[in-house]
Amino acid sequence: MKINLPTPAGKIESYSLQGEALAAAPPKIPFNRVSFAAAHVVANPLGNGNPSASADIDWESTIAYRRYLLDLGHSIAEAMDTSQRGMGLSWPDALTLIRLSLADAGTRNAARIFSGCGTDQLAPADAHSLDDVTGAYLEQLAAIQKLGGRIILMASRALAHIAKSPDDYIHVYSRVLNEADHPVILHWLGEMFDPALKGYWGSGEFPQSMQTCLAAINGNVAKVDGIKISLLDAEKEIQMRRLLPASVKMYTGDDFNYPDLIAGDEQGFSHALLGIFDAIAPAASAALVALAENDMRTYRALLEPTVPLSRLIFREPTQYYKTGIVFLAWLNGHQNHFVMVAGAQAMRPVSYFADIFRLADQARLLRDPELAAKRMQKLLAIYGL
């Protein structure tokens, strides 16, 4: 099967599909790593609201995608930045998403869903004190825990705006963690994902920021399940991983270097909490089964071809990676349109989508190549190609 695709140089070239798809099947044995897929939301393309002002969600398709991820053995990182939290998905909509996701999962799977708890109902300019930030965190914490949800404590734009010192971060985190019903996952989101978080933990330098974060963890060890760092730097993650208390997990948020970080070394390994696992769920599931069987050759063969795809999806400006995630979900028939919350489908050029198509095919991630090619052609037609 061939298709004409644009290139970054502005030319049109014929591409021959490999047309070989990975099977998506429930894992035959348990993983030996915890695997969270940060899941996207499906917009309602027929909504009448202004996309720049509010989110209109197709709840049925959104929840169906979570069932798909759970069936493949992944846990769900709910209402995180992959769900366009802070980029179109408001706190009230996020709470609805969390409620529906937990209800659909039922008692069997609810413990496999951890949900984003932040301060996004508080505009940074309206944060006048640490108490304001703490109050915003605690409002969301109480609402999620009332639903029986587990917590991922997200980085706060308001805290980054108001904090004057590293001690301010430790103070806020300690107060919030004290109210957690179960151990939480902390999320250190780098400025490449959200420029408003520059200097998080009170410093622009990683060693100092890491020490502040470790101090917050060490002062509240019983309340911390683990920490996800999304800095796209393997050496920084490994350095911090080796300094964590024994009971605290490192969750990689490195969408560039995840195969090596999950495999680990003689001193430890990282678990996974990744946006790219939304897009590569079948390959990630099969690779984690191979890792549990100590079959490193198969693990590498399945996961390493996904890295060029992930590096493309998460290229700068990194915060628009959600566009690539949703595009792949559409290509693969998980939703019947390519419309996003806040109109984010327009945030990448057409050559980006063509390159995703090529790399997804080469990683065996187009589950129905004929359908994917037809949808790719529909998108190209919009661009006059």
Tens digits of residue pLDDT in 360-378: 999 999 999 999 999 999 9
Q: What is the mean pLDDT of residues 210-237?
A: 98
The string over 339-363, giving b where at least 16 C-beta atoms fall within 10 Å of a residue's C-beta and e elsewhere, is bbbbebbebbebbbbbbbbbbbbbb
User: In this structure, what token pair is assigned to residue 74?
Assistant: 């992944």
pLDDT at site 47:
85
pLDDT at site 31:
98
pLDDT at site 217:
98
At residue 107 the predicted structure's pLDDT band, cuts being 50, 70 and 90, is confident
Secondary structure (3-state) at 116: strand
Spatial separation of the C-alpha atoms in residues 288 and 263, rounded to whole Å: 9
**Maximum distance among all Cα pairs of the chain, rounded to whole angstroms:** 60
Q: State which residues form the domain around 138.
A: 2-382
Q: Per the confidence metrics, is the pTM higher than 0.85?
A: yes
Parallel/antiparallel/unpaired status of strands 249-252 and 12-16: unpaired
Number of domains in the chain: 1
At residue 53 the predicted structure's pLDDT band, cuts being 50, 70 and 90, is confident
Whole-number mean pLDDT of the chain?
97
Q: What is the mean pLDDT of residues 94-117?
A: 96
Spatial separation of the C-alpha atoms in residues 116 and 224, rounded to whole Å: 15
Q: Which residues contact 239 (CB under 8 A, 6 or more apart)?
A: 210
Whether residue 229 is predicted with pLDDT greater than 90 in this model: the reply is yes
Contact between 270 and 263 under an 8 Å Cβ cutoff? The reply is no
pLDDT at site 173:
98
Q: What is the mean pLDDT of residues 60-73?
A: 98
Query: Which CATH number belongs to the domain containing residue 208 in this structure?
Result: 3.20.20.70
Q: Output 238 or 108, whichever has higher pLDDT.
A: 238
Length of the chain: 385
pLDDT at site 327:
98
Q: Which residues contact 9 (CB under 8 A, 6 or more apart)?
A: none
Listed in sequence order, the DSSP H helices in 16-121 are 59-71, 91-109
- Ranges assigned E (strand) in the chain: 2-6, 12-16, 35-38, 75-78, 113-117, 150-153, 184-189, 224-230, 249-252, 271-274
At residue 122 the predicted structure's pLDDT band, cuts being 50, 70 and 90, is very high
Spatial separation of the C-alpha atoms in residues 137 and 133, rounded to whole Å: 6
Whether residue 52 is predicted with pLDDT greater than 80 in this model: the reply is no
pLDDT at site 19:
81
Digit-coded pLDDT (tens) for 174-223: 999 999 999 999 999 999 999 999 999 999 999 999 999 999 999 999 99
Q: What is the mean pLDDT of residues 297-311?
A: 98
Digit-coded pLDDT (tens) for 153-163: 999 999 999 99
Q: What is the mean pLDDT of residues 99-123?
A: 96
Secondary structure (3-state) at 338: coil
